[in-house]
Each structure stands twice: as C-alpha cells, then as structure tokens.
Amino acid sequence: MPEGTIPDEGEILATGDVISAFFPEHVPGGHEQQGLRPAVVVGVPEPLGEPRFEVLIVVPMTTDRAQEWSRRSPALYPRLAKGTARLHSPSICLLDQVRAIGAERVRGYRGTLAADQYRPIHAGLRRMMSYTETDSG
C-alpha cells in the first residue's frame, strides 16, 4: 500500500504497519491518547475467523520528549526514530494503551516497520499479556 494513502474498504492492514488514526476523547482526559495520531497495528482478528466488525488492535504513539516515565520503563515504552514510517518526530509506543479501533478510524497508512523495529513492541506485548512460547491458546 503506498505511503500516505487511506486503505480501501476491505483492504487489510498487517501487524507492524504504522497508520494515522483518530482516537476518541476519553473521560477523564489526559490519561489516554486522543485525536489524530500515529499508531502501530499489533493485531488483526482475521486469522482467527471472520470478525463481526472491521477492527484493528493498535498501540498509539506519542512524541518522545525524553520523558522520565518512558526512560524508567523502556520495555513498556519502545521508541521509534524520527522518519521511521514517516513519523515527523521521535516517538514512543504506548504499550499500556493497546486497544481495538474500528477500521473507519484509520486516516492513512504511513509505512511498515522492519522486523528489528517491531520486535521490541511484540516482545513487550507478549510479556505484558503474560504469553510464553509454550502457550497454545
């Protein structure tokens, strides 16, 4: 899919794709990402069956301003360099805000992470969800 495009209806994004998505307002404000921002696709339900609705599992990002909380927990907050998947600034992946979003919230495709860029995100989510190599489902 060309960078900067909006996926056509029925076009499936893949794990490791970076998108621009609209996140709704939350109450109380300030605890969760909202508005238009980049996110990493970390899951698609289609391999498990036909979902009721088109959804993606994503991790939203925020700008990396060398926040102390992110430096204390690098496995929970993996970093991506400016320019990665057309990111305008260095960014932090907020694994503690993983969520499902409707496909209609996707506003554009930015690019796809290389395996070495996606690996810390995948590893952090596995640890956070307590999955091990022997888990069979």
Give the Cα-Cα-Cα angle 31, 36, 41 (nearest 5 degrees): 85
- Give residue 82's pLDDT: 97
The label of the residue with tokens 């796809």 reads 112
pLDDT in tens, 56-93: 999 999 999 989 999 999 999 999 999 999 999 999 99
For 69, half-sphere exposure in the C-beta direction (CA atoms, 13 angstrom radius) is 8
Kindly state the percentage of the chain with pLDDT values over 70: 82
Reference 124, options 77, 85, 72, 68; nearest CA is 77
The mean pLDDT of the chain is 86
- Give residue 35's pLDDT: 78
3-state helix, strand, coil in the chain (%, to 5): 25, 30, 45
- Euclidean distance between CA atoms 113 and 16, whole angstroms: 5
Q: Where does residue 66 fall: left (phi above 0), alpha (psi -120 to 50 degrees), or beta otherwise? A: left
pLDDT in tens, 19-47: 999 988 766 655 667 779 999 999 988 88
Global pTM value? 0.84
- Are the C-beta atoms of residues 17 and 109 closer than 8 Å to each other? yes
Phi, psi of 103 (to 5 degrees): -60, -25
Q: Which domains does the chain have, with CATH numbers?
A: 17-128 (2.30.30.110)
